[in-house]
Structure 1
Amino acid sequence: MIAKVAGLLAFVAVAAAGVVPAGVAYSPYAAAPLAYAQPALAKVAAPLAYAAPVAKAVVAAEPFDPNPQYSYGYSVADGLTGDSKTATESRSGDVVQGQYSLVEPDGAVRTVTYTADPVNGFNAVVDRSAPAVVKAAVPAVAKVAAPVAYAQPALSGLAYHG
C-alpha cells in the first residue's frame, strides 16, 4: 500500500513539474509546451469482498458454588529491612471478614479490620497505635580549641603606577 501511495505521489510531482520532450533544451525564457498528454492509467479491479468464517465457540459452563468459602493469612517480619505486616481474611458465602496490619515509617502500627456483605456493603475500621518512643543516645561532642589568630603580613615595596 505504501508503494502505491509513493508511486502516486511521484507521478503527481512529475506531472506538476512538467515534462520536457527529449531533445529540447530547457530555458527559463522558452515558451511552455502548449499541450501535455497524460499517460493512461491502468484500471485495477477492486479486491473481492471476503467474509471471515464464523467460529462457533463452545463454552462449557463453569461449576457454580452457592456457598463459596475460603480462609487465608500471611505475615512478614524482616529484621534486616524492618518490614513487618500481617493479613488474614475469610469468606463464608457472601460475607467476607478480614484484618491487616503494618508498621508505618514513623513506627506506628496501623490495623485495618473490615467486613463486606450484600446488606451493609464494605465497612472498615482503621486503628493506629502510637509508635514506641525510643530515646537514642546522643553522642558526646568533643571540645576543640579554636584556631590561633594570625596577622596577615604587610606588603612593602609595591607601588601602583597607573
Structure 2
Amino acid sequence: MKVIILAAVIVCNVSAGLIAPSPYGYARPYGVAHVAAPIAVARPAAYAAAVDDYDPNPQYSYAYDIQDALTGDSKSQHETRSGDVVQGSYSLVDPDGTRRTVEYTADPHNGFNAVVHREPLGAVKAVAPVAAYH
C-alpha cells in the first residue's frame, strides 16, 4: 500500500509541474537544469615535446620470425618505412598445409597494394596434442 501511495504522490507532483521529468529516466526537482561542466584538458609536457618534434620523414624497420617445432607454428613478418612509403611482407602456414606470403606496399599516391602467393610445403608436421586440463 505504501508503494502505491508513494507512486501516486510522485505522479501528482509530475503532473502538477513540481517535479520535471528527466530525459535520463528519473525525476529531478523542477528548475534544476542539467548542465555539463566544461572539461579542461591538460596535456603533459611530453605531449607538447612530441608535437614539437614532428618528423617529416619518419623511418623504421622491424621484423620477426617464429618457427615453433612443438606446435607447428610458423610465421614471419618484416616491414620498413621511409617517409610516407611502407613496404613489407608476412607469411604463415595455413591449416591446409600451404604457406601464404603477402607482399605489400603503401604510399599516398597508390594506396595499399598487396600480392598474395601460396606455395605447398613439403612435409607438413602434425601438431603435437595439447595436454588436457583436469
| Contact 1:86/1:100 (<8 A) preserved | yes
Is the aligned partner of 1:130 residue 2:130? no
Per-residue deviation, 1:6: 7.4
Matches of 1:66 and 1:93, distance apart in 2: 7
Give the alignment of 1:64-143 within 5 angstroms: 64-132=54-122
1:54 matched to 2:38? The reply is yes
Larger radius of gyration: 1
- Compute the displacement of 1:108 (Å): 1.4
The structure showing larger relative contact order (alpha-carbon pairs under 8 Å, at least 6 residues apart) is: 2
C-alpha distance in structure 1 between counterparts of 2:34 and 2:76, whole Å = 59
1:117 offset after TM fit, Å? 0.4
Q: Are 2:7 and 1:8 aligned?
A: yes
Deviation digits for residues 74-99 of structure 1 (CA, Å, limit 9, x no counterpart):
01111111010110001011000001
Using structure 2 for the length normalisation, give the TM-score. Answer: 0.61
Tell me the secondary structure at the aligned position of residue 97 of structure 1.
strand
Q: CA deviation at 1:109?
A: 1.1
Q: CA deviation at 1:131?
A: 2.9
- Structure 1 gaps of 5+ residues are 13-40, 135-162
Q: TM-score, normalised by structure 1?
A: 0.51
Identity rate, percent:
51
- Residues matched between the structures, number: 103
Over aligned residues, Cα RMSD in angstroms?
3.4
After the TM superposition, which parts of structure 1 deviate over 3 Å for at least 4 consecutive aligned residues?
A: 3-6, 9-12, 47-53, 58-61
Q: Kindly indicate which of the two structures has a greater share of residues assigned to helix.
A: 2
Residue 113 of structure 1, CA deviation? 0.6
- d(CA) in 2 for partners of 1:4, 1:69: 69
Task: Give the equivalent residue in structure 1 for 2:127.
Answer: none
Give the CA deviation at 1:46.
Answer: 2.4
Q: CA, structure 1 residues 46+124, in 2 after alignment: closer, same or farther (shift >3 Å)?
A: same
Distance 1:9-1:55 versus aligned 2 partners, 3 A rule: same
Task: Give the Cα–Cα distance (whole angstroms) in 2 for the partners of residues 84 and 6 of structure 1.
Answer: 71
**Which sections of structure 2, spanning at least 5 residues, go unmatched?**
20-28, 125-134
